[in-house]
Amino acid sequence: MHHRAIRFLASAAWFLALALACGSAAAEGLDAKLLPRIQAATFEVVAAKPANDPLTYEKALPLDLLPFQERTDKYYSLGTAFSIGNGRYVTAGHVLMTGFGSLWGPPALRDNAGHVYAIDKVWKYSLEQDFAVFSIAGHDDDAGPALELQRDAIAGQAVYTVGNAYGTGVVVRDGLYTSDTPEQESGRWKWMRFSAAASPGNSGGPLVDLQGRVIGVVLAKSPNENLNYALPIGRVLDAPDGVAEMDQRTAYQFDVFDTTLTGRFKHEFKLPLPLAAFFAEYGKRFDAHVDDELKALLAKEPARTFPNGEGSEQLLNQVATMSDFPYVIGRASNGVWGLGGDPGDNVRLDANGYVTPGWFGKNMLFHLRRPDTVPAAKFYADPAQAMDMLLKTGFVKRSVGAESILVTSLGKPAFAGMHTDAWGRKWRVWKWPVPFVNMNLVVMALPVPDGYIGVVRSGLAMQDHDMEINQRALTDFIYANYDGTLAQWKDFLADRSLMPAAFDKLRIDFDYGDHFSYASKRVSFRYTPELQAIQPDSVLTLGFSFFKDGGKPVWDVSEVWISAKQNDSNYVMLIRDSEPPASLGDDFANSWDKILHRRHPYDSEARDGDDGTKVTAVAGPPAEANPKVLYTATYAVEGRKDAADMAAHLALLVKDLRVDEK
């Protein structure tokens, strides 16, 4: 159950790599007199490295471990392009699109002498056939020689790949044009298959014949054999002038279930356009497409989607084990919705702070407990500080040579905003660029009394919008409890901007050493230190769950748990229970029957266990009134206590306990 950024299905070859390459010394059989012209007409596609790195590392980066060319080059090598004359150049569409949303400089051309030429306008573009035709700035004609073109090539002849193999410059390798294969969706055209070697960096380069004429554009390679793919140059030449075409089948998924929505990304717009305007026009259509795909996917199976669909009943009729870790509500293969997530070990911070990291698919889940020495107002106002704490889990590292260097700070976020989910919970939305991998990191952080719970996800910069809308949608499927010491609750309750809509109907009031009270439209109770200590380090947890109220799913408090202090066995607990539907079977029915008829352990009788003593009573109408909702009230203390003492404490708990929910 995980979301995939848009994945196009037109060809199995399409998504092998962001950039492919061809290289080696001059190939046998190709006239050496042709090489200077071929190499002069073939260019690296590059992007400028960021001038400044906003990240902080645990130590200085050991850049001396990198090859000389890699550490001294001011550009990243992306792929290959070539001149076809009349001021026009060709590359693979996916090479050009590395500039879409990029954190690096825009794609540009670099010749063998190291001169860099900015791309000016895009004149033709095809997403499904994966090519782009463009011009360069400041040149009405070519920046050097152009390659001859041959649109009538036939299989069986010797061919040569020319391109930027592994970012080492333009080189040539030989092989055979072996066959043609239909485009996989509907056979709209045929790909050329060839055996000349292909390596990362050569995507967009020319495939030439024995006379040095371009017969195809190198695009991709087979993952399991030396079989590579090119688009016939005739497809580029015959494509309509002045049009950007997008027409591909897409498959869209979302984290919480395995349903796939098959759709189509089909648009076109007029060219030529300057490069930045081209990206903007493409982005408007692509972003609208993924918006529509996500919306359609979530609406596709309402009869099977939480909280209204089948398979939801179990989670709507239980209170999950109390936890301050954010679990994800997901649908299992049997159609039943439950809680997913894999919490790891706590990473300790100063002054009782800690981070609990975990994973759900491609998402990092976390609970960040605020250190006692950090004031609440500063903590909730400073996302950079919160991220510095999260980074101590080691989830962002930079590989340099054989070393992996921990990132200790991302600095201030590039974006900080708010998102209110379907349940009225107010999430902080933070976004950080990670330039060295051309990725963005998006954090959805939900303020809770002791800190934050949240979700982190990273993705290529070009996938930024898709990643963010998925993160926002995922917040509707997070199971969240609100936990903290009474001192932390005091700070939290003082800032209404932190609280979800459900808190508008709650009243929590306490005075150390005097009283504690809780009231909602459903239930209320009050007690004094005669029952249990009330002090700054006492811990209050509101366990929120999903249940139906008047037939409508709601997110509200279903458990109130208060301990005398952190990790103390002396606590009081109030749990909401409701009559389960018959579809849930005997286990749920028997549990409800015990509560309804006040049978053990809900009989107000003291019981021993787990190195402590407990007593539980049921609050609400008697069984004869056929109630649909009841509350169980429990008092627990460490060690063995006599029945009379437990009965006296239970009486103090239920004395001011009132159930208003019908």
Average pLDDT over residues 430-457: 97
Question: Is pLDDT at 132 greater than 70 in this prediction?
Answer: yes
In percent, the amount of the chain with pLDDT more than 90 equals 82
Question: Is pLDDT at 15 greater than 90 in this prediction?
Answer: no
Mind listing the pLDDT tens digit for each residue in 199-224? 778 899 999 999 999 999 999 877 66
Question: Is pLDDT at 292 greater than 60 in this prediction?
Answer: yes
Mind listing the pLDDT tens digit for each residue in 532-591? 999 999 999 999 999 999 889 999 999 999 999 988 889 999 999 999 999 999 999 999
Q: Which residues pair with 325 in a beta bridge?
A: none
Does residue 173 or residue 93 have the better pLDDT? Answer: 93
Provide the pairing of β-strand 552-563 with 612-619.
unpaired
pLDDT computed for residue 19 by the predictor:
30
Give the strands of the sheet with 56-57, arranged side by side: 56-57, 403-409, 397-400
Mind listing the pLDDT tens digit for each residue in 158-189? 999 998 876 666 788 899 999 999 988 888 89
Does residue 10 or residue 213 have the better pLDDT? Answer: 213
Question: Is pLDDT at 12 greater than 50 in this prediction?
Answer: no
pLDDT computed for residue 139 by the predictor:
67
Same CATH fold assignment for domains 7-243 and 506-659: no
* CA distances to 49, 254, 311, 578 from 568, in Å: 54, 40, 37, 29
Fold of 315-476: Protein Transport Mog1p; Chain A (3.40.1000)
Average pLDDT over residues 606-618: 92
CATH of domain 506-659: 3.40.1000
pLDDT computed for residue 143 by the predictor:
59
Mind listing the pLDDT tens digit for each residue in 625-651? 999 999 999 999 999 999 999 999 999
> Where do the structural domains in the chain lie, given as residue ranges?
7-243, 315-476, 506-659
Query: Any long-range contacts for 388-391 (C-beta under 8 Å, 24+ apart)?
Result: 389/349, 389/353, 389/355, 390/355, 390/357, 390/366, 390/443, 390/456
pLDDT computed for residue 618 by the predictor:
97
The rounded mean pLDDT for the chain is 91
pLDDT computed for residue 7 by the predictor:
26
pLDDT computed for residue 309 by the predictor:
87
Alpha-carbon gap, residue 572 to 635, rounded angstroms: 5
Question: Is pLDDT at 657 greater than 70 in this prediction?
Answer: yes
pLDDT computed for residue 221 by the predictor:
78
pLDDT computed for residue 609 by the predictor:
78
Beta-carbon contacts of 426 under 8 Å, excluding residues fewer than 6 positions away, are 418, 419, 420, 446, 447, 497, 498, 499, 500
Question: Is pLDDT at 320 greater than 80 in this prediction?
Answer: no
pLDDT computed for residue 1 by the predictor:
32
Mind listing the pLDDT tens digit for each residue in 337-361? 999 998 999 999 999 999 999 999 9
Tokens of 257: 């279930």
DSSP SS3 for 419: strand
pLDDT computed for residue 6 by the predictor:
28
pLDDT computed for residue 26 by the predictor:
43
Compute the half-sphere exposure of residue 418: CA atoms within 13 Å on the CB side of its CA.
Answer: 11
CATH architecture of 7-243: Beta Barrel (2.40)
Mind listing the pLDDT tens digit for each residue in 355-386? 999 999 999 999 999 999 999 999 999 999 99
pTM reported for the whole predicted model: 0.90
Nearest CA to 53 out of 41, 61, 45 is that of: 61
